[in-house]
Structure 1
Amino acid sequence: MVISLSVVLLVGIILAFIFRAGKIKAGPMLVAMLFGFLLASTDASPDIQEFLDNVAEGISDIEF
């Protein structure tokens, strides 16, 4: 639950900066879509959440 809340806040902040800059292209559009799916309770939401959890786990496993 902590990871999902952090991801929602992070993506929300990124989305706010994108809208403020007034530039919406393919990459920012993807961020906006992910933000929408995280907030929505659709059938696709658990799959997207699982993907984001796997990405977060993969990033945390990287050793520098």
Structure 2
Amino acid sequence: MAITVPLFALFGLILAFLLRAKTLSLGSAFIAAAFGFFLASTGAAKPINQLTENLIQALSNL
């Protein structure tokens, strides 16, 4: 039986571990970039973009 794990979930877990361990290196930067790249290809991309746009608009109105 094969178990498949989406890459964004795998990179998310690795990134969470690296952040919790307070490890800052080139490897963790690559993991963070890869996590963002694979997250952008999921259905979560549109709500994240909308949230970001709304936050920018709210900050510019202050």
Please give the TM-score of this superposition, normalised by the length of structure 2. Answer: 0.53
Stretches (4+) displaced over 4 A: none
Check if 1:27 corresponds to 2:23: no
Highest Rg: 1 or 2?
Answer: 2
Map Cα deviations across residues 23-59 of structure 1 (whole Å, 9 max, x no partner): 1100110010000111125xxxxxxxxxxxxxxxxxx
Q: 2: CA distance between counterparts of 1:40 and 1:6?
A: 13
Find the counterpart in structure 1 of residue 18 from structure 2.
18
For structure 2, the residue ranges without an aligned partner over 5 or more in a row are 42-62
Return the TM-score normalized by structure 1: 0.52
Alignment coverage as a number of residue pairs: 39
User: Normalized per residue, which structure has more helix?
Assistant: 1
Gaps of 5+ in 1: 42-64
Percent identity for Structure 1 against Structure 2: 42
Pairwise CA RMSD of aligned residues? Answer: 1.9
Name the CA distance, whole Å, in 2 between partners of 1:11 and 1:37. Answer: 10
